[in-house]
Amino acid sequence: MKKYSYNNLLRLAIFLVPSAFSFSNSKIEFASEGVQLNIPTNVKFIIGHVRKLDEDKGSCFDVKSKVGKKFIGEFCFFSRNNDLSSVGIVPYGSIPDIASRGENPASGLVVTTGASYYPMEQFDINFQGAYAAKIDCDLDNGLIYRGTSTCHVGLSKLDNGNFLYGFLVMKQDISKKNVFSASDVKKIWNLFTKI
């Protein structure tokens, strides 16, 4: 099994992608976050490059399909609460009264999109205090928002106070192509474990 420290991951990212699945299991360790990602060989995705966010706000990496290397999601480690609004996660109280539907989720959080907002509910994974929502999403990022896909957004607070955020494509609604089922999403999240 390979083990990579978070500090060396950026330098090794180019070598990781082609070789990540040549081992029976690969581990990518994010030491500063107290988390590791355990990647079995039989998964239908690869991990893309790791990128640092501006002003030391955290880091993200893409999840891509093995066939065609298409973007099918991302995971990020965020170091501050204000980063969450940049990915559409906001307190329910910030939704204007005129747009509110009156439901206040137990998490107190919603995911906003260009078309609506979705309450984040308890998400039963390896980490306590995880919340998630199934949302509409626009993978084309055009000038006009078109929610042409269904995505899963999850958030978990880590022991060090930072957050693990995940965005995974579940279905491309126009082509009716399923990417990840609800059980796939949960399995992927459970590949992350504490170290």
The answer to whether residues 21 and 15 touch, using CB atoms and an 8 Å cutoff, is no
pLDDT score of 20 more than 60: no
pLDDT at 47: 87
The predicted model scores a pTM of: 0.81
Single out the residue of 39, 38, 79, 76 nearest to residue 56, CA to CA. Answer: 79
Amino acid identity of residue 185, one-letter, is: V
CA pair distance 65, 61, nearest whole angstrom: 13
pLDDT over 50 (residue 110): yes
- CB distance 49 to 17 below 8 Å: yes
Give pLDDT tens digits for 183-195.
999 999 999 998 8
Structural domains of the chain ordered from first start? 2-194 (3.40.1000)
Cα 111 to Cα 114, 131, 166: the distances in Å are 10, 11, 12
Residues 6 or more apart from 56 whose CB is under 8 A from it?
Answer: 79
Q: What average pLDDT score do residues 171-185 get?
A: 89
45-56: pLDDT as tens digits:
888 878 888 777
Query: If you average pLDDT over every residue of the chain, what do you get?
Result: 81
